[in-house]
Amino acid sequence: MTTAGDIMHRGAQWIPAHETLDRAAQLMRELNVGALPIGDQDDRLCGILTDRDIVVGCVAMGRDPAKVTAGEMAQGTPRWVAADADVSDVLHEMQEHQIRRLPVIDNKRLVGMISEADLAQHLTEDQIATWAGSVYARTTTR
């Protein structure tokens, strides 16, 4: 059985909820990533911040990224998967919620992230096609 831990990108890092978006952008540049999990004061997942969130939700709205925190940008219920979850559970979670990045948690700690690139390296073409069709499908309810 292939698990989330087998396909994830190790070494993911939190951005604390109190950190500003300019610092988040700097960390994304340093890590060469487009998304960071947001952690609250108890190191619990409270959201995911993407580079697009910073641009569209802050800069394009005329807000100052040095004054807006990652926690302010956290919306909805954060999705995650356990490190020992089967890859079919990973795909289901991402498809069901139309998400492209998924934090991997083990013993209540962030241990990795699964992105499209990780899926492309570990899944069959049919699995990727099904996943992409679900995640990128336009719906009227979202």
CA atoms within 13 A on the CB side of 42: 4
Rounded Cα gap, residues 13 and 28, in angstroms: 10
Q: Note the pTM of the prediction, 2 decimals.
A: 0.83
More confident residue, 137 or 129: 129
pLDDT digits (tens, 9 = 90+) for 34-64: 999 999 888 788 899 999 999 999 999 999 9
134 DSSP 8-state letter = H
Looking at residue 69, its pLDDT comes to: 96
Element (H, E) at 131: helix 125-135
Reduce the DSSP state of residue 92 to 3 states and report it: helix
Reduce the DSSP state of residue 48 to 3 states and report it: strand
Span 70-97, mean pLDDT? 91
